[in-house]
Chain A
């Protein structure tokens, strides 16, 4: 087993709001291996983006990382000086964002913005510029020399995202964190960007952390996946295994709630009842229990920890889908209301 290139240990990030403390990331741990591509999936507010921002100490006010470790080459990124973290950002760990429109400076030429990423890390102007052209070609921007002179508004959305990726790759980082890089793009452009990221991962060995809400994106690009819900990882493991045999009811429900373009016949979507919890007042016990069809009494009071449910696969659930299938007829369940499978209907939400 190779040693991880990045280890996140028991990360806690909180936001101090007028209403109280929001625990946006609540005890997240995972390892990233060199050249690997992992996906972090979850819905809005699950803490996936804040996890990524915490790694690079970019959490916006009023948020702060309150505890945990982020180990990169044996140093804790949360402990080093501001000067040191700036050296690492963009050089060793780069990040690309969802919205290339607002992440690029509208009054600077695109090429210069890619240059800047290298100028910040000690390259000369000439060196940087030559590499910029090479990078723009690598991300398949046609007529790279003239495009480098364009301002961001002269490029299409897909092209801008390519330029962002070029910027991210400028210093050949060992880790690229991509936060919903294709969400704002059309599907055909999304497919091209994903292919590009896949090639970079394979050919350059850049480890990728892909943050997305789209299970299809994870299925195509990643080898491992972390599923987040209400600030916590509820399930993680190899992509094939998680898609084939999810053990957490949230993962299971999520996979069944998406319509598939290759579906053979029309089946009613299995939605997940209710809403994601308010993180100001997270539910006691398992955070998914108010929406879970398979909850048992214990789920209301005791918080489950991640534990191995299959080789390399961890899930935080007292019941797990293995049991829900065997004892609660999960596969044939039509009623998906909370507690429908287990019969534990107490504390039903009336709204």
Chain B
């Protein structure tokens, strides 16, 4: 974490349960706390169903929390409703995964980018269209494209349009939910570089969510790993990679194919037994114990839930045996 920097986002013990009938509920996010400081990029990784997208939607208040608190700039946004919440939204914008589904096909690119300005009554007439052209230029598109429609653009260009829309109101926090996952490799690099440039230029804070740990490691200052609705590890991105303190992080790392035949062939895969358990009825104790290669069952792993605690300076993990990882 950057020393002396101000905390922008504070998430305290946030829970989100979705009702699933028969009195059951999907425990998508189940007691999560973390902070994001101004100007940093916090990466969030985990496999499908771990709750990372739900968490993104909670932070941006697109979904109400079941319990817990979220503060943005010391304002408790989980308490706000209606117009007050809407005003807070100016500060937090989102970039979505699917560049095809997230742009209205019947609006021109100019209208898409201007929509946040219209919604908040920011700028009018000529000034507004100048701002749109400026935003197009910022994201590396031709400013004269404002009269075109989304279908005239490639996936990478559409993602740039989505980024321009997110930046329109000068937000503080930008949540990128799998923002580059749908793009081709060579285009991914362009967008990652663009996001890094924009962060520097506009002092943005990112919550960067992806399943691809190599991209997350590249772009993030700190990385947070989620498993079945819980955070299992948080550390700076080098620490997560070089000395993971949770067996799940280690397994995840070992599974990533490295584009180097010599390293990739010599690598040993940490096999995880079985499948990810259902979030309807997560395992007792440590949620990972059913698949963990170093778990000691029944005690303590199947009985006592390990707290997320500092194992080394600035490196948090939730594991009873993190020294054995």
* Beta-carbon contacts under 8 Å, A252-272 to B: 253-255, 257-263, 266, 268-272
What residues of chain B lie closer than 8 Å to A158, measured between beta carbons? Answer: 275
Q: How many residues of B contact A (CB 8 A)?
A: 48
| Residue on B nearest A262 in the bound complex, by CB | B258
What's the dominant secondary structure at chain B's contact region?
Answer: helix
Is A187 within 8 A of B252, CB to CB? yes
* Interface membership of B156, Cβ < 8 A: yes
List the one stretch of A121-129, A164-172, A215-223 in contact with chain B: A215-223
Q: Nearest Cβ distance between residue A103 and chain B, in whole angstroms? A: 19
Instruction: Please tell me if B86 contacts chain A, counting CB pairs below 8 Å.
Output: no
- Write the chain A residue with the least CB distance to B265: A220
Assess the A262–B263 pair: CB atoms within 8 A.
yes
What 1/0 flags go to B181-218 for Cβ under 8 Å of A? 00011111110110010000000000000011111011
B-contact bits for A229-256, CB 8 A (1 contact / 0 none)? 0000000000110010000000001110
Q: Shortest distance in angstroms between B48's beta carbon and chain A's nearest beta carbon?
A: 6
Asked whether B193 lies within 8 Å of A186 as measured between CB atoms, the reply is no
**Which residues 151-194 in A have Cβ within 8 Å of B in the complex?**
156-159, 186-188, 190-192, 194
The yes or no answer to A43 lying at the interface (CB within 8 A) is yes
**Does A101 sit at the interface, judged by CB under 8 A?**
no
Please provide the chain A residues from 310 to 351 with a CB less than 8 Å away from any CB of chain B in the complex. 350-351
Convert B137-159 into 0s and 1s, putting 1 for each residue whose CB lies closer than 8 angstroms to a CB of A: 00001100000000000101100
Q: Are A220 and B189 in contact (CB under 8 A)?
A: no
Could you tell me the distance between the alpha carbons of A266 and B215 in the complex, rounded to whole angstroms?
Answer: 11
Nearest residue, chain A, Cβ from B184 = A43
B241 in contact (CB, < 8 A)? yes
Pick the contact of A261 from B196, B214, B251, B261 — CB < 8 Å? B214
B259 touches A219 (CB 8 A): yes
Q: How far is the CB of B89 from chain A (nearest CB, A)?
A: 31
| A114 vs chain B, min Cβ distance (A) | 20
Quick check: is A75 within 8 A (CB to CB) of the other chain?
no
Residues of the A chain whose Cβ atoms lie less than 8 Å from the Cβ of B192: 259, 269, 271
Note all chain B residues with C-beta closer than 8 A to A107: none
Q: Do A213 and B272 touch (CB < 8 A)?
A: no
Contacts of B258 in A (CB 8 A): 216, 219, 260-262
**A204 CB → nearest B CB, Å:** 19
B257 touches A217 (CB 8 A): yes
B262 contacts across to A, CB distance below 8 A: 240
Q: State whether B241 touches A191 (Cβ < 8 A).
A: no
Q: Is the Cβ of B259 less than 8 Å from the Cβ of A216?
A: yes
- A240: B residues at CB distance < 8 A: 261-262
Known: A240-B261, A258-B185, A351-B142. A190 touches B218 (CB 8 A): no
Is B107's beta carbon under 8 Å from chain A?
Answer: no
B156 lies within 8 A of A243 (CB): no
**Cross-interface CB contact of A258 among B214, B265, B269, B274, cutoff 8 Å:** B214
Nearest-CB residue, chain A, relative to B248: A188
Say yes or no: is A214 at the interface (Cβ < 8 Å to chain B): yes
Q: Determine the residue in chain B with the shortest Cβ distance to A271.
A: B189
Inter-chain contact B260/A186, CB cutoff 8 Å: no
Residues of B within 8 A of A80 (CB): none
- Chain A residues with Cβ below 8 Å from B215 are 259
Complex interface residues of chain A between 6 and 56 (CB less than 8 A to chain B)? 43-44
Contacts of A192 in B (CB 8 A): 269, 271
Using A187-B211, A243-B260, A259-B218 as known contacts, list a sample of 20 further A-B pairs with CB atoms less than 8 Å apart, ordered by residue number in A: A187-B212, A187-B252, A192-B269, A215-B185, A215-B259, A219-B257, A219-B260, A243-B259, A253-B186, A254-B186, A259-B214, A259-B217, A259-B219, A261-B214, A261-B258, A268-B196, A271-B186, A271-B192, A272-B190, A275-B157
Chain A contact residues, CB within 8 Å of chain B: 43-44, 142, 156-159, 186-188, 190-192, 194-195, 213-220, 239-240, 243, 253-255, 257-263, 266, 268-273, 275-276, 350-351
> What 3 A-B pairs are tightest by C-beta distance, nearest first?
A216-B257, A259-B218, A271-B189
